[in-house]
Structure 1
Amino acid sequence: MTRLLPMLVCLLAGSLPLAAQTVSPSGPAPSLETLARMSGTPDIPGLNMVWLVPWGDRADANIWHNIVVHQTEGPAGSAYRGALQQARHPERQGTTIWVETDGTVYWAVGEWATPKHVRLGGNRNDNKFIDNRDTFRLTPNDNSIGIEFAGNYPNVRKPVTEAQIEAWRILVRVLQARYGIPTERIFAHNWVDYKDRRYCEGCMLATMARAQGAEIALQGQPH
């Protein structure tokens, strides 16, 4: 919490959150993989990243094995408010990262924090959406980094925006590169933890990320 105090003083005073800092080029532009391994607030091309808390040393981060995609029923504009509350109370119910309808990404808490975004003991074992044998009780909060996409209010079945999709395509690659998370460890909330029978929360985004990962892997194979 002591690492958050300087940032929270500004936030509580009503200041706007810090925008991403630009990485000073020294030769060729750094690759996405290189940027993903930096500390601080790197400027990641294609992402409008707002850093409420900067990256630290990767060695101090939680050992993230999984990515879990969520969607909140808040209206447009709620991602910033949710991220701000998360920054004030890192381990409250919520996620590490919040994505607004305009594609803005808020990194809300330090990598060492453990927000509560899946229920303890709530992982699925019914194979309703995917085969749960490899996920049952293996996606707890302390090894699964959560991303919350805002804006599906008042219709929970409302799809995410194109801006959110474009941000997600880059963001998920950053997370995979930073934490070494394989594509098959990207999950929708409803795949691993039941929430709402009205829609499959996060399923389209997780499916998209897995397809993208498979395509990138195929492109990297020798012909």
Structure 2
Amino acid sequence: MMMSRLFAAILAALLIAPAAATDAELAEVAHSSGTPDIPGLKIVWLASWGDVGNAHSWRNIIVHQTEGPTGSARGGALEQFKNPTRRGVTVWVETDGTVYWAVAENLVPTHGDGANRNDNKYIDNRPTYRQVVRDNSIGVEFAGNYPDVTTGPTPAQVGAWKILVQLLRARYGIPLDHVYAHNWIDYKDARYCEGCWLATLARIWGE
């Protein structure tokens, strides 16, 4: 029941959302540098883009969800900016849909637990086991599921994710089937499936 209500809320939000960038517009802006305006996305640049040719060779996207309260994405992003390789991610998403780009794209934050899942519970783990790790995966953290970790993303976060995942894939040439939930590749908190709903949506949108 909770998932059906969440899906209805997300669907309603997407139907009334303002028009986002076209594929052509996103492809163009995805190869820019500096702090570009991304149509349909509110983004706070703590670290700017450089020449994409000098970026780290990201091959995967890992979707995370933190137990922080509403408003914690900004704080997490600021701490990440001060110490880029600490445990965390490159991109943080607040409950209101604001995106914080916290780390220069040639640096590698500490995230993921080594791709230790090999039970094929969610996906075929043969191509991910010990292979989808922090050194080749850009991380995106969605804040706000405190105090109930089973709380899903907000409609605003879903709307931001729809644009952000396209942007990341276009900038770094990441295939659709290389978008992963944290729980798909790592053994995680058994109370909820971290990032699973968002990663599933990304794959559905890209079909």
How does the TM-score come out when normalised to structure 1? 0.81
Amino acid at match of 2:31: R
Counterpart CA distance in 2 for 1:46 and 1:95 is 22
Letter in 2 for 1:171: L
Q: Which residue of 2 aligns with 1:126?
A: 119
Query: C-alpha separation between the residues in 1 aligned to 2:188 and 2:87?
Result: 14
Larger relative contact order (C-alpha < 8 A, sep ≥ 6)? 2
- In the TM superposition, what is the alpha-carbon distance from 1:66 to its structure 2 partner? 0.2
SS of residue in 2 equivalent to 1:31: helix
- After TM superposition, where is structure 1 displaced by more than 6 Å over at least 4 residues in a row? none
| 1:123 to partner: Cα distance | 2.4
The DSSP-based 3-state class of the residue aligned with 2:119 is coil
Separation of aligned partners in 2, 1:35 and 1:193: 32
Matches of 2:135 and 2:127, distance apart in 1? 17
What amino acid is the match of 2:120? Answer: N
Greater Cα offset, 78-87 or 30-39: 30-39
Indicate if the aligned counterparts of 1:39 and 1:56 stay in contact, CA closer than 8 A.
yes
Letter in 1 for 2:153: V
Return the offset for 1:60: 1.3
Which one of the candidate residues 169, 192, 203 is aligned to 1:199? Answer: 192
Within 2, Cα distance between the matches of 1:75 and 1:95?
17
Q: Give TM-score, length-normalised by structure 2.
A: 0.87
Q: Gaps spanning 5+ residues in structure 1: where?
A: 1-29, 215-223
| 3-state DSSP of counterpart to 2:165 | helix
**In structure 2, how many angstroms separate the alpha carbons of the residues matched to 1:181 and 1:161?**
25
Provide Cα deviations, 1:142-176, integer angstroms capped at 9, x if missing partner: 10000000000000000110000000000000000
1:112 is aligned to 2:106 = yes
- Which amino acid is 1:39 matched to? S
CA contact (8 A) 1:123 1:139 kept: no
Identical-residue share of aligned pairs (%): 62
Partner of 1:213: 206
Q: Who is 1:78 aligned against?
A: 72
